[in-house]
Chain A
C-alpha cells in the first residue's frame, strides 16, 4: 500500500478548503490506515483452506486480498479485525488471534 501521508484537518486553513468541501482526489480514503483499529487479526491456515473465496467476498472492508497462488490474505493496513471472515469460512481455516500475540 502507498505510504503517502494522509493529510489531517490541521493541515487546512479555511482558505485551503475546496468549494463545497468537494474532495477531488478520487478514492483517497484508501490512504487511511484503519488497521490501527484492530485488536485481533485473522490468520489463515493453508492446510485447511480450499480457496473458496468466501472470506474475500464477505469482508465488509474489502481488506482480504487474493494472492497469485489462489490463496487469500488479510491486508493488515486496512483489516479492522471484525472476524466476519473467520465466521463464514466453511473450513474453519481462519483463526482470530490477539494483536498482542505476534
Chain B
C-alpha cells in the first residue's frame, strides 16, 4: 500500500534516493539543502540504507567523489545549492562529458554577493550549458517522483548522462506537505539495476578521462551534443513508464488552463502553483489567460514549448534571475530564441522578480499579467521590468 505522509521536498528527495537504493552518496551540507545530506547520513548510519556515505570537505570534492563512484558503476547521488553548485562548477562539466549518470538535487538558491541563503534561480542559470539533464519540481511530490525518474533516465544505456533535479530553496526544501510514497516493489519495477557498460574494472581495463587534443576535441563535443539531444526520447519514455506504474504523468511543458488563451504566463518551479491561483482569479473574471510551466529545462523542449504557446498573442515570462548586461531574463531570452523562427509568434514580455527569497504573492502575479498586457498594448522600450522590487528601473535596453 502506498502511504500518504507529510514530508518536505528535501526529505522526499532523500526518501527517493533511499528507495532507489543508491550505492554512494558524497555530499557537503549547504543551506537550504542541509536536510538532504543529514537525512541520508542518518539513514546510512541507522542501516536503513545500504550505501557508502562519503563526508567530503567541499562541494568540489563531493562531485569529484561522485565521478569516481559512477565510473565503477555505482548508483550515485549528491545534493547542493547556490554557492555549493558554483564551487563544483568545473566538475559539473566533467560529469556530463564523461557521461556519468549521477543524480543531483539542487535546492535552488541565490548566488552571492550579497550573501543570500534564500531561493532564486541564479544557481540554475549558471549551469545552463553544462550538459546535464535538468528538470524542475513544483511541489514535494514531484521532488520525490522526479528523483526516482532521474535515475531511470540518466542510467538508461541510451542516455548515460547526469541529471539535476531542481526545486526551490526554502519554498520547497523546507515546506512540509503531502507526499504519496509508493511501495518498494513498485519502485523496483520502475527502476532496474544500474548496469554501467564502461565500469572501471581491473579484469576489463579501459581508460576514462583521456586527454583531448585539438584534433579530436571538437568531434568529442559534437558527439556529446547529439547524444544529449537524443536523450529527449528516453525522457519522454521515462515519464510514460512512471505514469503507468505510479499513476502520475509528467510532461516536458505543463499547461494550466492555457488552451486558447490569448495571454500566457510562463513560470518555472514552485511559484507556478501560486501563479495558478492568479490565473484562476483572472479567469473567473472572464479574462483569456493561462499558465505554462517549463518542467524540462535541458535539453530544452522546443517542440513542446511551441505547442503549448499555440496561438497566444502575449507570452509573459517570469524570471528569477538576472543575466547581467545580457538579453534580459535568461528564461525569457531562451523563449524568444525558441520562438524566433515561428511565423506567428506572441509578443514576449519579460519580468524579473523573486530574487534572493523575495516572495511572489498571488497579487504579484496578477500585476505581472495586467502590466504585461499593458506593455504589449502600449509598447515599451524596456528590455524587462521588475516585480516586487522597490524603486522603478527604466532605461534597460535590449
Interface residues of A (CB under 8 A from B): 8-10, 12-17, 19-27
Contact = CB atoms under 8 A, between A and B. Distances in A.
A9 B198 contact: no
A19 B198 contact: yes
A27 B206 CA distance: 7
Indicate the member of A17, A21, A25, A26 with the most B CB atoms within 10 Å: A21
A20 B222 contact: no
Contacts of A26: 204-207
A24 B215 CA distance: 19
A21 B212 CA distance: 9
Interface in B223-253: 223, 226-227
A9 B216 contact: yes
B220 A22 contact: no
Given A9-B213, A14-B226, A19 B219 contact: no
Given A14-B219, A26-B205, A26-B206, A21 B213 contact: no
Given A20-B97, A20-B100, A9 B215 contact: yes
Nearest to A26: B205
B163 to A, nearest CB: 15
Contacts of B215: 8-10
B68 to A, nearest CB: 14
B219 A13 contact: yes
Nearest to A8: B215
Nearest to B202: A26
Contact of B160 (A12, A13, A19, A21): A19
A58 B216 CA distance: 33
Contacts of A16: 219
B219 A24 contact: no
Nearest to A24: B206
Nearest to A25: B206
B200 to A, nearest CB: 10
B98 interface: yes
A16 B226 CA distance: 12
Interface in B77-117: 97-100
Nearest to A17: B223
Contacts of A12: 216, 219
B1 interface: no
A49 to B, nearest CB: 35
B393 interface: no
Contacts of B206: 22-26
B210 A15 contact: no
A21 B206 CA distance: 11
A21 B98 contact: yes
A15 B219 CA distance: 8
17 contacts: A9-B214, A9-B216, A14-B219, A14-B222, A16-B219, A17-B220, A19-B99, A19-B227, A20-B100, A20-B198, A21-B97, A21-B98, A22-B207, A23-B210, A24-B198, A26-B204, A26-B205
A8 B219 CA distance: 13
Contact of A20 (B208, B218, B219, B226): B208
Nearest to B197: A19
Contacts of B207: 22-23, 26
Indicate the member of B98, B210, B213, B219 with the most A CB atoms within 10 Å: B219
Contacts of B216: 9, 12
Interface in B311-367: none
Contacts of A8: 215
A22 B197 CA distance: 11
Given A14-B219, A14-B226, A20 B205 contact: no
Nearest to B205: A26
A21 B205 contact: no
Contact of B223 (A9, A15, A27): A15
B198 A21 contact: no
Contacts of B99: 19-20
B210 A21 contact: yes
Contacts of A15: 223
A30 B269 CA distance: 52
A20 B98 contact: yes
A21 B98 CA distance: 7
Contacts of B227: 19
Contacts of B204: 26
What are the 8 A-B residue pairs with the smallest beta carbon separation, nearest first? A9-B215, A20-B99, A17-B223, A26-B205, A14-B222, A23-B207, A9-B216, A14-B219
